[in-house]
Structure 1
Amino acid sequence: MGLPTCVDRSVFVHILICMFGTSSWLAVNGIWVELPLLVQKLPEQWTLPSYMSVVIQLANIGPISYTLISIFAPFILSHEKVIILFILMIGASSCLLLSFFWEYTTFIAGTQHSTALLILEFFLALVDCTSSVAFFPFIANFKEKYMTSYFIGEGLSGLLPGLVALGQGVGVVNCINITKTNFTNGSWINTTGNIFPQYQQPNFPAQDFFLFLFIITFMSGFAFTLLGLMPQFRSEMSLNNNVCELVYSRKDSELTSSATVTTSIDSTLSPCNCTESVNNGQSVSHLLNQDDKISDDECQEYKLASRSIKPKISPSLYAYLLLLTATINGISNGILPAIQSYASLPYGNKPFSFSVLFGIIANPLACFLAYFFPTKNIIYITVLTILGCSVAGYDLTLAGLSPNPFLRGKKLGEILLVLSWILVTGFFSYVKVCIGVIFRTQGRRGLLWYGVVTQAGSAVGSIIMFVLVNVLKLFTSAPMC
């Protein structure tokens, strides 16, 4: 067995981590793209999204609790894999129950409400919100290159439901002209009526769509189980970055020279002498296959190599990157989803559909781009963030001018609309990956705080837009036809 075996394993780890990442926001994204079908069947109709927004914010009790426990009682989270598997089981079970009970309603205070949908959505949102603080630290157990694979999977959590909903025919609207006949002056006269939207019947029911979400969540849990249990993948863990080379290629000189760089040792690393614990209680000899014995000298080399390539960023830069993360997620996860219909509908149903579809496609594509062309240059990251905020400002302006934004009814306006949603998603998705990779170099605690501010920024953005849209009613929706 030689070094190529380690390289071959990495392909499977990339795939498994990508599959694991699809569960991060799959359920919440799935329910949102299914809304045009749900509002036709449920009593809340188009007030349903406001109820769902409140439920999702209540689910933030999950990441808040997880963060507090990790700070004040970290021993509770010692069985990290069991906790994550339990979270995924809640998500899969909720999707399965949703497929059978989503239409179930009850009377509350004399009004009919979608009780089953909202209760199950709370548990799904609990899973998705908690994933921001639970999944990132787990990914820190693996090499830095796998961080992008997780973000690709996170992008697919929006893309896959969107493509399935597109095949389902959800949200396809036909504008029909209804002619009225009135009896005037002793005769029947046909008068031209108003144009009304009529939703196209879906190609398959909502039950099948939720079963699809269950299957994907189950596969994500299966991928996570393989990552945690298969001993063949231990060589791809971050503390083993150089063990594979030490055992198979003996390139000791490179590792020794790299250790001369002055760096900060991650708090999760302990001195390695082949008998001492280095990774959650696992010794080096345990992390390796039984046939892969290494000498004490090689183990010392591993100790030196493990200490390298862990540069510590300054507190000011740390705070700046956290601020950027909160801002980006507040805009992309809170503000933009709330104003997309206001910004897009004035240009017609097709531009609206294209802006949604190409926007969710741009997310995983930007993550692929970050994998092949990564950057840790803070200036580049800042410039791309400014560009993303500028494009987001354009979309926010369109929403504020609704139902009569500029270039309405013109092809140029439709092109700029769709292009703006592609660019804003692309810029922000690329920057999220780059910042995530930087925090990955700071170990598990860095990724924990990255997840915390990701969720906090999203929550603040959602709350602000809920007040502006539903309380202050600052935006006016354009008619669908």
Structure 2
Amino acid sequence: MGKGRNLFNCGEINIFVYFVVAMFGVGSWVAVNGLWVELPVMVPYLPEGWKLPSYLTVIIQLANVGPILVTFAYTCSKDSLNEKAIVYLILTVGAVACLLLAFFWRATSYIAGEEHSTALLVLQFFLACVDCTSSVLFLPFMSLFRVEYMTGYFIGEGLSGLIPSLVALGQGVGKMTCQNISIVNETTNISHYEIQPFYHEPTFPVEDFFFFLFAMMIMSGSAFTLLNYLPYCKKEHTVEYVMEDNTESSSLGSNSNSHYELSSDQGTFQGDSYHDPSTAGHSNSELVLSNKKRPSLAICTDTHSVSARESLSKRTYIYYLILIAWISAISNGVLPSIQTYSCLPYGNSAYHLAVTLSSISNPVACFVAFLLPVATTIVINGLTLIGTCLAAFILVTAVQSPTPLLYDSEAGPAVVIIAWVTFTALISYSKVSIATFFRKEGKQALLWCGALTQVGSVIGALLTYLLVNVWTIFESAPACP
């Protein structure tokens, strides 16, 4: 393998490849996350004002047509689907959309007599299509790599929220001061003073931020290229033959990969055949494996090691799918939509600390999952239960806005920040652990994991949209109390 490879080896992983996997994972949600954190700078220049987030929420849900089509294509075409081409396509669409936003984000037009940010809304749809579809494309792609690299992908997915947040903080997003401004009543011509928020000018313009997102998408595409074609990365690929029986081939979670060529010192597997170089020229040099059953092997191309694994039971498999949908509903759909209601009553600083520290806790939890992997369902259940209880507490603070529990206490900001950070860490850890179990089940399991992630996210987001915009059970706290 050479000295260079040994230098980057750390146990069962190669650090360089692990890093490239993380950079590939960054492209999963960096565009949409980046657009959300940039909203405070953009809103003053756009006709929708602070109604814009509700428009974007609906657009993101409409963009789930992308993962629906890909999942349908997976189901119908199976091994004939050109996954690499589709991944390159969506990464290219995401990069082009970010580049166009840098030039046209302020472009407006009149629709039904009202002015709207047409270019922004249309390009946001394409960005959302890219990021939503990544859930059912990027995860199955990770089946090429050993299970240890799954945490690397989720670290990258966590960084897709953290990196834009840190750049936006450097830009000065959210920086404001409360000023006592004189307001003149046009009817009585009498002036009075009101405390209103004054937002500071950003250190660099919105256009530069979209150029940064464009660069991040290019970086993710470059990482994907390295993972596919760089021999150094391809050494970390894993090819699996899974026990397959004709009577069970249609069962949930089955894997029917059968067209691979694996080389080792002892011989070569090709399709359904085994070629032994030591018996070249003999009539029995090819051993054809039974069509009904193939050996359950996990063959790593760098070490040529062979090991058996146990599959999840059908009941556990379905339970994990339901659990991943629940986790995604509360973490991707419900709580992000109510974060301002939950945190702003405790002050602007508490809100920004909760957002930033939660973004940091996501990749940290994924890295902890790599160092301390979960081996039992009991632990996952316990962590998910605690996370759900914290989510319930956060939801209560949002419902009680603008005067939630401890809002006038010095301990209030610390409590709500800890709740958000701990919730994000526990849920992220559980999500990575479940995805790791699905990785052991193969590509189809990862596809369903990604699909249920989107299903849960859509249900959570639509429910919260109704609560916020239709039933209006939440009330915003004033920026300057």
| Equivalent-residue separation in structure 2 for 1:234 and 1:199 (angstroms) | 49
Structure 2 CA distance for partners of 1:305 and 1:151, relative to 1, 3 Å: closer
| Equivalent-residue separation in structure 2 for 1:87 and 1:434 (angstroms) | 27
Per-residue CA deviations over 1:19-55 (Å, capped at 9, x if unaligned) read 0000000011001101111111100000000110111
Per-residue CA deviations over 1:284-324 (Å, capped at 9, x if unaligned) read 99xxxxxxx98689x99x98554734311111101111111
Asked whether 1:432 is paired with 2:435, we answer no
Structure 2 CA distance for partners of 1:106 and 1:268, relative to 1, 3 Å: same
Asked whether 1:229 is paired with 2:229, we answer yes
Spell out the pairing of 1:10-409 with structure 2 (5 A cutoff): 10-77=14-81, 79-179=82-182, 193-239=193-239, 266-269=255-258, 274=267, 276-277=269-270, 306=299, 308-409=307-408
Q: Which runs of 5+ in 2 are unaligned?
A: 242-252, 281-285, 288-294, 300-305
| Equivalent-residue separation in structure 1 for 2:274 and 2:423 (angstroms) | 44
Structure 2 CA distance for partners of 1:145 and 1:193, relative to 1, 3 Å: same
1:74 to partner: Cα distance: 2.4
Equivalent residue of 1:107, what SS? Answer: strand
Asked whether 1:474 is paired with 2:463, we answer no
1:234 to partner: Cα distance: 2.3
| Equivalent-residue separation in structure 1 for 2:207 and 2:402 (angstroms) | 35
1:409 to partner: Cα distance: 2.1
| Equivalent-residue separation in structure 2 for 1:17 and 1:75 (angstroms) | 23
| Equivalent-residue separation in structure 2 for 1:130 and 1:416 (angstroms) | 36
Decide whether the 8 Å contact of 2:183 with 2:194 is kept in 1. Answer: no
| Equivalent-residue separation in structure 2 for 1:143 and 1:219 (angstroms) | 23
Structure 2 CA distance for partners of 1:6 and 1:238, relative to 1, 3 Å: farther
1:407 to partner: Cα distance: 0.9
| Equivalent-residue separation in structure 1 for 2:460 and 2:318 (angstroms) | 19
Equivalent residue of 2:193, what SS? Answer: coil
Percent identical: 47
Match of 1:248 in 2: none
Decide whether the 8 Å contact of 1:104 with 1:116 is kept in 2. Answer: yes
Decide whether the 8 Å contact of 1:57 with 1:459 is kept in 2. Answer: yes
1:410 to partner: Cα distance: 1.4
Decide whether the 8 Å contact of 1:43 with 1:112 is kept in 2. Answer: yes
1:226 to partner: Cα distance: 1.0
Decide whether the 8 Å contact of 1:403 with 1:478 is kept in 2. Answer: yes
Decide whether the 8 Å contact of 1:153 with 1:364 is kept in 2. Answer: yes
| Equivalent-residue separation in structure 1 for 2:428 and 2:400 (angstroms) | 27
Normalising by structure 1, what TM-score?
Answer: 0.86
Decide whether the 8 Å contact of 1:172 with 1:199 is kept in 2. Answer: yes
Equivalent residue of 2:476, what SS? Answer: coil
How many residue pairs get aligned? The number is: 441
Decide whether the 8 Å contact of 2:240 with 2:297 is kept in 1. Answer: no
Decide whether the 8 Å contact of 1:265 with 1:308 is kept in 2. Answer: no
The residue identity in structure 2 corresponding to 1:142 is: F
1:435 to partner: Cα distance: 0.4
| Equivalent-residue separation in structure 1 for 2:274 and 2:34 (angstroms) | 42
| Equivalent-residue separation in structure 2 for 1:331 and 1:447 (angstroms) | 20
| Equivalent-residue separation in structure 2 for 1:223 and 1:210 (angstroms) | 20
Over the aligned positions, Cα root-mean-square deviation in angstroms equals: 2.8
Decide whether the 8 Å contact of 1:376 with 1:435 is kept in 2. Answer: no
Equivalent residue of 2:369, what SS? Answer: helix
1:232 to partner: Cα distance: 2.7
Decide whether the 8 Å contact of 2:240 with 2:257 is kept in 1. Answer: no
The residue identity in structure 2 corresponding to 1:327 is: W
| Equivalent-residue separation in structure 1 for 2:274 and 2:100 (angstroms) | 43
The residue identity in structure 1 corresponding to 2:101 is: L
| Equivalent-residue separation in structure 2 for 1:206 and 1:401 (angstroms) | 34
